[in-house]
Structure 1
């Protein structure tokens, strides 16, 4: 497709990330959109949504976090990627790349799950005009529900520790949760979801720059009522980390929207494209 360009993002530590840049089909003065993926989800998952945003007049950049998809260099077991790297190095570099490509001053960050949970450790957070955290929450284990409430403790306490020793990575493909994860990503995911606050659990331990208090941009969390991870209580747990930002919550109801399910992932599928105008309303607001 002619309006998709392959890009390479170079992070501050020299690590390279694979990205796709989607050029708007019409000229507008809208701010560009940075699509930040969920844990273990590759950039191609968001392509249909990104192309739709292009038709609405947005330039869009989507990338693979280090250790995931085309941003994995070498064997997965040798990857040293961590979730804090995603927030401190990958997202900042992606922001700067998008601003260079579009010659704008700020971006709109549309983050899916983990992609919308890390702004508080992003050093160039001032370049973000607003955040749309889709399925964004702290993922705290006590706030989970359904099958995930049962699966998560087994994955975090049994599967990940054993696989770290035997395989050298987190085998999330086996449980249908995206690409297999670098071992430290899997470890931190388990640690961050073990207590309220997600990335806040790393502050003062492995993360020493905390910008949560400094962030004032609007943050809107959108989640579905049938999401077993981003439940209402876990969404609130994420938003409380930004006491000086203007935060809001918007719930998607599958039945009211004519779908059997939306959950944690389906709002980005073409089968659910009737939801995209709702997302865009919050992007444009």
Structure 2
């Protein structure tokens, strides 16, 4: 029977994050534990079945809610001061250290979904990451987004978010099927970062000091896995993310839904049990 342990991880600024730890069988334990960093507005429970599967493959796994999301939201969302910059500088940093302390490993494998795989360049303890697997990871640049999402995103970023910031006090993403409602600064930064190429690189010199930009220092391998029918992590936007790490060994793995017997994969389905035949592809990149 698979089990996980609930944890509370305290960040450098005192903020408490809710997390789950899935311990592998010691007889099968792999040397590097996996930290699953969620997509924007997606709660840790979404990754449960995938985490259990990784646990069964011999990996210690930790997954968490970013501040302002799910069980890491303390109080009404409209009062949350969480930001995407804090997710990278404080939350991922704290989770890396917590996972290393929990497992006594030397480094972690960071498996990031969408935004969760886009922030290593602003994570202060980036050197404690063995490799990055960015699933549906890209910069999300508006001009690279396609399909229905390409029509919805500008409306969300330039109309809904600015108005709701003052009328509701948060980004109302739940009603449009895009995860949990977002703290207002998360919504604002999401729109800001995706309005130009480079995502979080657009915050350097603004919300982020130049000395806290670690993109060029990152040297661990980075693999971006994306679905060819993903309207957000398109080929152009995946390549836009990879270019931000000039000194890292990078790899791009495209997945065609039909080749794996699926009608679609998109931005979210790789972690669903309906698409479990994709998990071995992800694990192959983890183990490579």
Give the shorter-chain TM-score range.
Answer: over 0.9
In structure 2, what is the Cα distance between the partners aligned to 1:2 and 1:254?
29
Is this contact kept in 1: 2:30–2:60, CA < 8 A?
Answer: no
Report the alpha carbon displacement of residue 120 of structure 1 after superposing the two structures with TM: 0.1
Is this contact kept in 2: 1:141–1:193, CA < 8 A?
Answer: yes
RMSD over aligned CA atoms reads 0.8
Matched, 1:5 2:8: no
SS at match of 1:7: strand
Question: Which residue in 2 is equivalent to 1:18?
Answer: 18
Question: Which residue in 2 is equivalent to 1:95?
Answer: 96
Is this contact kept in 1: 2:218–2:245, CA < 8 A?
Answer: yes
For residues 124-143 of structure 1, the aligned pairs below 5 Å read 124-143=125-144
In structure 2, what is the Cα distance between the partners aligned to 1:70 and 1:220?
29
In structure 2, what is the Cα distance between the partners aligned to 1:184 and 1:175?
19
Matched, 1:242 2:245: yes
Report the alpha carbon displacement of residue 175 of structure 1 after superposing the two structures with TM: 1.1
In structure 1, what is the Cα distance between the partners aligned to 2:95 and 2:17?
9
Give deviations 1:159-182, integer Å, cap 9, x for gaps: 001100100000001111100000
SS at match of 1:77: helix
Give deviations 1:183-239, integer Å, cap 9, x for gaps: 000000000000000000000101111000000000000000000000000000001
For residues 258-273 of structure 1, the aligned pairs below 5 Å read 258-273=261-276
Give deviations 1:220-265, integer Å, cap 9, x for gaps: 0000000000000000000100000000100010011100010000
Report the alpha carbon displacement of residue 10 of structure 1 after superposing the two structures with TM: 0.3
Matched, 1:279 2:279: no
Is this contact kept in 2: 1:5–1:20, CA < 8 A?
Answer: yes
For residues 26-37 of structure 1, the aligned pairs below 5 Å read 26-37=27-38
Report the TM-score, using the length of structure 2 for normalisation. Answer: 0.98
In structure 2, what is the Cα distance between the partners aligned to 1:185 and 1:261?
28
For residues 1-285 of structure 1, the aligned pairs below 5 Å read 3-25=3-25, 26-208=27-209, 209-285=212-288
Runs of at least 5 residues in structure 1 that lack an aligned partner in the other structure: none
In structure 2, what is the Cα distance between the partners aligned to 1:28 and 1:174?
41
